[in-house]
Structure 1
């Protein structure tokens, strides 16, 4: 029972992430600022540990960069001392220092990995908690627009992209930048001519890196988008697998998924090709630089202008210089992925509920259940008006049934009463208090809605019933189950009330799940109970059992019942026939039948189905056998 909605995209057409309802499109600068704000709030609690990680990176790079200088000292000073004076001390000290630096560097590198992992996991724990809590707070309007596949993508692939950046990407960038700076300074101090060669070689390296960044940014965004579409398509297909199989759409769904997977493969291949060109180019530049340093330095060694140890150290430094540049290029991939993910995550967290909490909530600890709709006008989002002007009074303790054609406005009335949506004009009053002003805990305790889905969570049957009152005792849970007639069913299960509803071999039918949801609602003991097609999934024996439970469930409380089955409607105190968002008939079931009209027609049709023979008379055989004599 909803109003007019926009048609969904056809199967195989992935939709873009919708903006917040009513929010204007953001500029790129605004998106960047929003993402940076989110990152700042995530990093602020771990700032001290992050700076400690940076200090470890600096120490690790200093230990690594000292190696070639020790090699030069060993060749140019320690070896001549050994040869001239038979003094092995300098060589031993140089070797011991090299070994100690290698050991310290290894320990520091390991500690960098552990420290960065602690920082990243703390950030991700905070982020995942924020996403879960915030998504729960968002109202039905958001969840009916933003598909479950996209929400799952935010919690999985996007948080993983951020994890890859925080786990090693940031420390890799810092370490690589420091390694290049320390290497260049060390080489310049050791031999400025070799340092000049390195400076010249940096130019094509920077040009290649910039080329890689520009193309990587474009291809990697396509890659992330394609990956998200594959996840969304898979989740949505598996979520709707019953419909897929019922309508024999497996081949079509597989073809659509294959299209998304092929697009993902194509974008991945493009990103890999760019990476390949970048790696190859860096190796060529690095190899050419080493060759020039070796050639120029070797000639100077022959002329006596350069020591052999310094030449060896210069070659080692030149070779070492371009390795971090490759790591910086690889970091850019992770950076682009994390940036795109952070934009999506911040967009989700920036969405505000369209149902704001009241500024001055009114406490209603004891609700009578008096309901009024005063001049209510409503439409979904920016769509057409569904309820043009509704005035309705349901006294406390009365059971009202809403009937009418699909789309007439019945479920919309129920959703407004439960405050799943807010009215455009007018007010919905509970005990003469606007539901928009009622304290949310009091409203959720006072108004409970049971829908036809009857969703059961993973866990025991008892835990699912106790969802209506988390602190309920086992005796209270069993009493609620007995009242609605589901106790015998649960007792016959393998582990009784402790049976896991997801355990293999224990599968509840739709009707049985509905009975459990009735027990849950009864245990919650609301002042106002809404049943939205809650008996639609029951068979005839099950419906008779539920009708007995409903009498217990509805006794002493206000109830709004939406049902197509008149067997449920006839027990109501009052029936409202809704058409086009307006109440066109109002009265007791018997009075409306007596008066004639739409409800009388529905009642007549229902009575006709009750008197229809369950099995039609056999039709005569059009080709009778000839008689036998």
Structure 2
């Protein structure tokens, strides 16, 4: 699947939309381990919302006190409220009489500033307590979500370590990185900004609705009519937006994969003059991402204006009917004022939920991509009670081994070979013959589909992978270095190695001679690309790493392919010392590097076609002899 040229091809049919409801339920399930924190969040949110909802009711009482004071000042002192109402009705002012009857007034008294001040003080206390509860809610929410996301990151990392090599062979690295980084970050941001707000919004709707029913069930019924209309509008818009968010994050993963491949293989892209094709592929992905993002944001962005429009219509109806109720004396002005505030508070959570819909949908889309990674089939677990070879000697036996990467495409059929302890087994053959596959099977990067492989008589499938791989040292054709010093890279396979041991291994692998020329010597910092050292020097560092690890079994896969001829000769001498007493498997295209091997296996199409030492295979005049003559006939004549 890898390679800079892969993305120059088509991309196939569009993938189907995600299971929004199922993924949402699973996402909520991630919060269960932190349920104690979220219970506290709900308690604090309930207190905060309850106090906030109480505020308009108290302000309504203050409004009634102010209005009653103004009204009472206009009435003659010494008369009772009943007399004032009767006088108004007698003079034909029925509406004013109904309004006065709904007020608690004492004619001629004026405003009661003490009572008004007391109510306002309670309003201040209520809002301060609501704010403190809101701060506590936000802090606990953030703490709980950080722990949830931290656990999710750990689960993803652990999952990656359990995935078979087959998965990484078929997935672009940029796509995997996008799921591990971009999607988890987007999920974290979505939860942080939406979860707390959703809890508060739901509680606000319940609390406000209760207060509205308490004040006037008629006005509450008018306000509630907006709810099903809002839900229908939000559902319709959400269904249109969700597939666009799915596409957005899938294209983001493909774009990241392309960028990562182009960056990693930028030298190859330049060498073959494919900059224009690479740039065009980037533009295609970028345009797809732009289109999907624009559609997702535009469609989901329609939700809040729609909610606001419905809320404004509802507000007008409440104001008109409320005014009529005040005129009839059924409600006081303070109650209508409180109800109008509640109607705004009632529509506000609906608008907030609508405005968060695009974020929630984006977060769920990212969550599904992460869940897809977590649900990927893992490699078979190690046995509960793994087997252990009694005494490790390094005898490797392939017994009637069969293997295929694809079920319908056999690669290796009925392969048998034995590597005795301390012997060097060289494997040669054309590209695609199955040489590296043998090593992958030995390391259990892939599992055999038939037969078995034994280490000192014990089936390696019954051993733990960690114990098996701890006894094997590998030097690959593709060098791998991590960001760190040269000394740290050499000591990667030997924890606790001293500087003297590192230098000794480097000297044996001919690393010491060029490290001494660097300004910081063994403390020279390399990045993961090995910038600052040549390809051959990077390979020498990996060879030194194998020297230091001192494994029982040594695997060399074209380990000297990037070094010059003189260094190759020196390394071969060092390798002879390193291989002494160890079982070694050497994959080589340069036949000069394996002439002293105890056994040479010639492979073709997954089968061993010849087997023997260098002299006997040359004498046989078969496939090995033809390979050797093609490589070295002219060179031997010149020497």
Q: TM-score, normalised by structure 1?
A: 0.89
Alignment pair present for 1:526 and 2:551: yes
SS in 2 for 1:393: strand
Alignment pair present for 1:214 and 2:214: no
How much does 1:34 deviate? 8.0
Cross-structure match for 2:587: 562
Cross-structure match for 1:344: 369
Alignment pair present for 1:236 and 2:261: yes
Alignment pair present for 1:467 and 2:492: yes
How much does 1:558 deviate? 0.8
For 1:9 and 1:500, locate their aligned partners in 2 and report how far apart those are by CA, in whole Å.
Answer: 33
SS in 1 for 2:484: coil
Give the one of 208, 211, 221 matched to 1:183.
208
**More moved, 269-278 vs 529-538:** 269-278
For 2:208 and 2:417, locate their aligned partners in 1 and report how far apart those are by CA, in whole Å.
Answer: 80
How much does 1:8 deviate? 9.2
Cross-structure match for 1:45: 33
For 2:528 and 2:371, locate their aligned partners in 1 and report how far apart those are by CA, in whole Å.
Answer: 37
For 1:484 and 1:212, locate their aligned partners in 2 and report how far apart those are by CA, in whole Å.
Answer: 65
Alignment pair present for 1:512 and 2:537: yes
Alignment of 1:383-462 (within 5 A): 383-462=408-487
**More moved, 329-338 vs 256-265:** 329-338
Alignment of 1:552-591 (within 5 A): 552-591=577-616
Shift of the 365–106 alpha-carbon distance from structure 1 to 2, 3 Å rule, reads: farther
Cross-structure match for 1:64: 52
Answer whether contact 2:303 2:355 (CA < 8 A) is retained.
no
How much does 1:461 deviate? 1.1
Alignment pair present for 1:607 and 2:632: yes
Cross-structure match for 1:547: 572
SS in 1 for 2:563: coil
SS in 2 for 1:310: helix
Answer whether contact 1:213 1:329 (CA < 8 A) is retained.
no
How much does 1:262 deviate? 1.3
How much does 1:14 deviate? 4.6
Cross-structure match for 2:76: none
**How many residues matched?**
602
Answer whether contact 2:162 2:379 (CA < 8 A) is retained.
no
**More moved, 272-281 vs 395-404:** 272-281
CA deviation digits over 1:411-469, x for unaligned, max 9? 11122122211111111111111111123332112122211112011111111111111
Poorly superposed stretches of 4+, deviation over 4 Å: 7-10, 14-18, 31-39, 503-506, 611-614
Alignment pair present for 1:148 and 2:173: yes
SS in 2 for 1:385: coil
Cross-structure match for 2:8: 11
SS in 1 for 2:225: helix
How much does 1:604 deviate? 2.1
For 1:423 and 1:503, locate their aligned partners in 2 and report how far apart those are by CA, in whole Å.
Answer: 32
For 1:591 and 1:215, locate their aligned partners in 2 and report how far apart those are by CA, in whole Å.
Answer: 73
SS in 2 for 1:144: helix
Give the one of 479, 488, 494 matched to 2:513.
488
How much does 1:373 deviate? 0.9
Cross-structure match for 1:617: none
Cross-structure match for 2:99: none
Give the one of 306, 309, 322 matched to 2:334.
309
How much does 1:150 deviate? 2.0
Answer whether contact 2:241 2:295 (CA < 8 A) is retained.
no
Once superposed, what is the RMSD of the aligned Cα atoms? 2.9
How much does 1:146 deviate? 2.3
Cross-structure match for 1:118: 143
For 2:624 and 2:525, locate their aligned partners in 1 and report how far apart those are by CA, in whole Å.
Answer: 43
Tell me which structure has the larger Cα radius of gyration: 2
CA deviation digits over 1:340-373, x for unaligned, max 9? 3232222222223334312431123742111111
Shift of the 425–38 alpha-carbon distance from structure 1 to 2, 3 Å rule, reads: farther
How much does 1:482 deviate? 1.5
How much does 1:37 deviate? 5.3
For 2:608 and 2:528, locate their aligned partners in 1 and report how far apart those are by CA, in whole Å.
Answer: 46
The runs of 5 or more residues in structure 2 that have no matched partner are 74-108
For 2:463 and 2:403, locate their aligned partners in 1 and report how far apart those are by CA, in whole Å.
Answer: 20
For 2:63 and 2:593, locate their aligned partners in 1 and report how far apart those are by CA, in whole Å.
Answer: 97
The runs of 5 or more residues in structure 1 that have no matched partner are 19-24, 615-629
Q: TM-score, normalised by structure 2?
A: 0.88
